[in-house]
A and B are shown apart, each in its own frame.
Chain A
Amino acid sequence: MRLSVGPAPSSWGAEKLGGLYRDLARSPADDVYLGETVCPDRSCFSDGWAGRIGEDLARAGKTVYASSLILVRDDKHRRAFRHLAQQVGRIEINSAAFLGLAREYPAIGGAFLNVYNSVAARILAEAMIERIVLPCELGLESIISITKQFDVATEVVVHGHIPIATSNMCPTARCFGWDDRNCREVCRQHPDGIVLEAGDRPMFRIEGLQTLSAATYCLVEYLGELEQAGVDTVRILPQRGQAARVVWVYRDVLDRRREPRDALEELKALSPTGLCNGWFLGKAGWVYESPN
């Protein structure tokens, strides 16, 4: 299976993002996605910078994709993504607004296109999409059903803080008494997001406009099932300071150089807010269960 690394948010800042992509160039990742997918107001992927990162990664043998916004409301944001696509040469489409670009660039269908079934997968493939990222909410049963019923390359998120919702009113700004019309880009001060506790249980993590899982989603114990299901690519969502390390862990397990149980211990140590994988097992998203 191929191993990909999903886009990191601009709240990391240009310096940290540059460091991430330098680390990934030396990692065993096959595909790297870059671009701001959540909040157009904070994007730092401009002025040829993304193009230069893309070139560096391509020289290191990586296939690089520019990821689009999830929600597009303004013509200038459409133009900005067209510009990014031109620089990077391959795209991940997260909004139906950009499906037309699949005729111009090799394109991945992002998880936010909401492909919940094999018929939708077929329709998306007909729009010249070469691979489909399935929503994190889909469990193994649905993944198997889609891959069995329609022959299309699929990509499944296996690690990281998974997306749960994208807001219209910025929850991060609200936490500090600002609103999204005057957010003061407070998300830049909290690049790992802010953990929200429900009762006394860490549940969500807000990062700008998006809500992620507080815990780290982790399928390192289920890579065999995904391989058997015919999944083409597994995706790691980057976390600061550890993305390349996590890529190595997964590569070692995929190549049978390391036992999943052993890998799990290392990943647990990297995840202070714990692990979750419930959605994959058809359960509440926040729970974690090991096989058997």
Chain B
Amino acid sequence: MSAGVGVDLENLWIRFGDFVAVRDANVNINGGDFFSFLGPSGCGKTTILRAVSGFLDPSEGKVLIGGNDMRGIGPNKRPTALIFQNLALFPLMKVWENITFSMEIKGASAKERRKRADELLDMIALPGQGDKLPSELSGGQRQRVAIARALCAEPDVLLLDEPLSALDLKLRQHMRTELREIQQRVGITFIYITHDQGEALTMSDNIAVMRAGVIDQIADGKTIYNDPNTAFAASFVGENNVFRGKIKQVMGNEAMIATNRSGDLVARISTANQGKLKEGDDAMMFIRPEAFAIAPDGATGDHFVTARVNHEEFEGNVFNIFTEGEGGKEIKVSIPNHGQSFQDHTGQNITLEYEAQNAVLVPAGELAAE
């Protein structure tokens, strides 16, 4: 375990009038972790962040930082630093003044501030840019200045509110690795807010998946991807094909589901739902596009699906096949490109095969919007 300071949310409720923004959140974030809150916009993740940083008071429950209840402690007294979605760099201050604002508040001399600013500028790979104005920097540079400014305050916990959302794709991917590197170097707790599952999966030690104020699942990225608790977590994180139906028979960790379209199929019950899903329950089966393989024609059984191909796409690393699915939703199949010749199936029926281990059963529930 790292030496960083942990953050705990205990039975946290946040209401705005009649609207419940956060419903009974319980989260333990270990010190030194890179922890992400992942969810669509409006799910309450930013509200949680503002409660941790002190701009919002919880309606009920507690926010603990390093084991201390933060109730009644203002944002300027908490050991947290927040990186705003729009960065909120002070437009009239030069880069070095921005970075060392927290030192200015404490009355540090200009000389000390310059020195610290130069160190931090070296760390974020922007040496010699201290005398520019934020408006003279590029998006990615501003991003790094915002991180340096937050780190200069020497917080125990760094809070990041979708800081990469304004950047273009290439820069976003680059900043992901950079953020992760910085986090490992400084060793403090990062709490990261995002609606981009790619960011959450690549950077985080642990992820909390949120939906409409409720935390659906807290786990590491692999677990959330492979073993989702709910239909929402399964459909929100990564691409997934859904098959609806009723549980026909439970066989240990696996079960057979009678689907509406594709007959009886066998799948693994997700860990959190083992022993809970019973025969006759409404359930959903999720299979990732890459978990399918094309089977010889005419193969039948409880791990084969037959469907008509609507269209196909070549994406470079994969071939995507879209077949007729349930309720207007297509089933997407991704076949890795190994340089093999690929035959066009458009308009034909094909049989797809999967392993029961790679299909997950969860109780029927709300799906993430496309």
- Co-complex (A, B): no
